[in-house]
Amino acid sequence: MSEVEVVGPEALPELQARVERILAEARRQGASECEVAVSVEQGLSTTVRQGEVETVEFNRDQGFGITLYVGQRKGSASTSASGEDAIRETVAAALAIAKHASEDECAGLADAALMARDLPDLDLYHPWSISPEQAVEQALICETAAFEADSRISNADGTTLNTHQGCRVYGNSHGFVGGYASTRHSLSCVMIAENQGQMQRDYWYDVNRLGTLLADPASIGRRAAERTVSRLGARPVPTCEVPVLFAAELATGLFGSFLSAISGGNLYRKSSFLEGALGQRLFPEWLILDERPHIPRAMASAAFDNDGLATYAKPFVEKGELVSYILGTYSGRKLGLPSTANSGGVHNLFVSHGQEDQASLLRRMGRGLLVTELMGQGLNMVTGDYSRGAAGYWVENGEIQFPVQEVTIAGNLKDMFRQIVAVGNDLELRGNIRTGSVLIERMTVAGS
C-alpha cells in the first residue's frame, strides 16, 4: 500500500479503502471488534524576525491508529508506516496488548444502531495556494506594520504564517466509515516594546478555514504593536477584592475549565468539583451554553464524534442550570448514562451574551481589573479553586487608568460562575468557544 499522494477530498476513497483493509486484518487476526483512524496531512510554516526569514518548513505526515477488542479487553497501537507489513505488525501489536489487558465491562464500540448515517458537508476544506515566497512576503508586511506603528516597538519575537490541510477517516467493525478533509490557516505576530528601562511583550493573530479571509497582515501587525505598547509602565496594585473583567480571548479558558469539569472522564474518576451537579443551577438564570457542531466553515465543526456517532446541537446549560454532561460511549457507560456524541470533546460552544461591548462592561464595572493575560495552571479540578498569575489594566470610574502586572487573581470557579454579571458582544470567533468578555462580580487580586 503506497503513500497517499494527495491531501484533500480526493484522498478519501483511498483512505477509506485503507481503513477497510485494516479492519479486515484485525478480524483475520482474531479481534472481536475494531476501530481505526487514518490521516494524511501537510502544511507550510514560515517565520520572519527583524526583517529576516528565520524558518520555512514544509511538513507531510500520514499514519493510522488502531484500537481493537478481544471480548472486554482493549489494545491500541499506531504507526506512521503505510505498507501491508506495517498493518499486520500494528494489528498484531494491538492484539498482544489486548490479550494482556484487564477485562473492562465498559470497553467496546458504541452500539451499532447509534452509528452516524447521513453526514452533512460542513465546508471545512479550502486549500490556500500560497507559495513560500508569498508566505514570507505576508509575514514581512505584518511585522513591518508593527514596527512602523510605534517608535517604542524595539524588537520582534517572531511573525509566523501557517497553512495546513489534511484528510481524516474513521471506521469501525460495525460498518461505519466516515471521513472529511479540512484546512486551517493562521498568521500571528509577537512584538517587544521598550521604554524607560521596561520591556513588554504581546501579540495578535487570526485563524480561518480560508486563507483569503484572514485579517489583513498589516492590521494584525498594528494590533500586536498597540497591545504591546499599551503594557509599558505596568505595575502591581495593592491586594484587594474587586470586580474582574476577562477579555474575550481569555474568557474562553473559563468556559473551557467548565467543560473539563463536566466531562465524563473527570466525572467517573471523581476528580471534578462538579461531580453530581446535574440539575443544579451553576450560572445566572439568563446564561445558556450550547453546542452547535454543524456550522459551515467553523473551526471546530464535525459531523461525527470519535466513536462514529452523529453530532447534534444541544444545550449543556439552560437558564443557568446544568442539563447535560459531556459524554462519549466509554465515559457514559462508566456513569450509567447514554453518550452525548462528544467523544473527543465539544464542537463549537456558544455562550449567550448581551448587547454591551467591552467598553460598556468597563463602565458597568466601575473600579476593578481588566485581565488580558494569564500565566500558570492554577486550577484545582477537584475543588474548583482557581489562582492564576495575571496582567491587564486597572480601571477607575469605568475607564482604563494604567497597565498592571505581577498580580494573582484568585477565587473558586463555582463562585465565579455564579457571580458572572454580564457577557459582552465582543465575541471571540477564532476557536472552539464563542464568548465575549466576561464580567465577574468579585475576585481577590493579590498584588503589592
Residues 6+ apart with CB under 8 A from 197: none
Q: For residue 395, what are the β-bridge partners?
A: 368, 400
Q: Is 329 left (phi over 0), alpha (psi -120 to 50) or beta?
A: alpha
Do residues 183 and 322 share a domain? no
DSSP type of residue 425? S
Do residues 180 and 249 share a domain? no
Q: Is residue 405 part of a domain?
A: yes
Q: 313, 125 in Cβ contact below 8 A?
A: no
Q: 416, 307 in Cβ contact below 8 A?
A: no
Cell numbers linked to 365: 464595572
Q: 135, 328 in Cβ contact below 8 A?
A: no
Do residues 265 and 221 share a domain? no
- 246 to 196, 243, 250, 374: CA distances (angstroms): 29, 10, 6, 10
Do residues 23 and 42 share a domain? yes
Do residues 151 and 166 share a domain? yes
Pick from 96, 428, 393: which is nearest to 255 by CA?
Answer: 428
Do residues 272 and 166 share a domain? no
Question: Can you give the length of the chain in residues?
Answer: 448
Cell numbers linked to 217: 497582515
Q: Is residue 2 part of a domain?
A: no
Q: For residue 389, what are the β-bridge partners?
A: 375, 408
CATH of the domain at 117: 3.30.2290.10
Do residues 212 and 252 share a domain? no
Pick from 43, 76, 293: which is nearest to 186 by CA?
Answer: 43
Q: How far apart are alpha carbons 418 and 280 in whole angstroms?
A: 11
Q: Is residue 171 part of a domain?
A: yes
Q: What is the pLDDT of residue 160?
A: 98
Q: Is residue 210 part of a domain?
A: yes
Do residues 224 and 249 share a domain? no
Do residues 188 and 316 share a domain? no
Q: For residue 180, what are the β-bridge partners?
A: 168
How far separated are the first and last CA of the chain, in Å rounded? Answer: 64
Q: How far apart are alpha carbons 170 and 38 in whole angstroms?
A: 7
Q: What is the pLDDT of residue 4?
A: 59
Pick from 214, 213, 212: which is nearest to 189 by CA?
Answer: 214
Q: 339, 110 in Cβ contact below 8 A?
A: yes
Which residue do the cell numbers 466576561 mark? Answer: 438
Single-letter amino acid code for the residue at 160: T
Q: Is residue 82 part of a domain?
A: yes
Rounded mean pLDDT for each run of 10 residues along the chain, 448 residues in total:
70 95 96 96 97 96 95 95 91 96 96 92 96 98 98 97 97 96 98 95 97 97 98 97 98 97 97 97 98 97 97 98 98 97 97 97 98 93 97 98 97 98 97 97 95
Q: Is residue 1 part of a domain?
A: no
Do residues 241 and 160 share a domain? no
- Please identify, among 228, 243, 274, the residue that sits at the C-terminal boundary of a domain: 228
- 80 to 10, 45, 101, 181, 238: CA distances (angstroms): 20, 21, 24, 19, 54
Q: How far apart are alpha carbons 437 and 427 in whole angstroms?
A: 7
Q: Is residue 280 part of a domain?
A: yes
Residues 6+ apart with CB under 8 A from 349: 255, 259, 289, 290, 291, 316, 432, 433, 434
Pick from 237, 255, 134, 223: which is nearest to 444 by CA?
Answer: 237
Residues 6+ apart with CB under 8 A from 276: none
Residue 337 main-chain phi, psi, to 5 deg = -130, 155
Q: What is the pLDDT of residue 1?
A: 42
- Residue 365, SS3? helix
DSSP type of residue 109? P
- Residue 311, SS3? coil
Q: What is the pLDDT of residue 24?
A: 96
- Please identify, among 174, 204, 228, the residue that sits at the C-terminal boundary of a domain: 228
- Please identify, among 195, 228, 261, the residue that sits at the C-terminal boundary of a domain: 228
Do residues 341 and 439 share a domain? yes
- Residue 231, SS3? coil
Neighbour tally for 20: CB within 10 Å: 15
Q: What is the pLDDT of residue 69?
A: 96
Count of domains in the chain? 2
Q: Is residue 144 part of a domain?
A: yes
Domain enclosing residue 83, as ranges: 9-228
Do residues 107 and 153 share a domain? yes
Strand ordering across the sheet containing 33-49: 73-79, 52-70, 33-49, 153-172, 177-195, 198-208
Q: What is the pLDDT of residue 377?
A: 83
How many DSSP H helices and E strands does the chain contain?
A: 9, 17
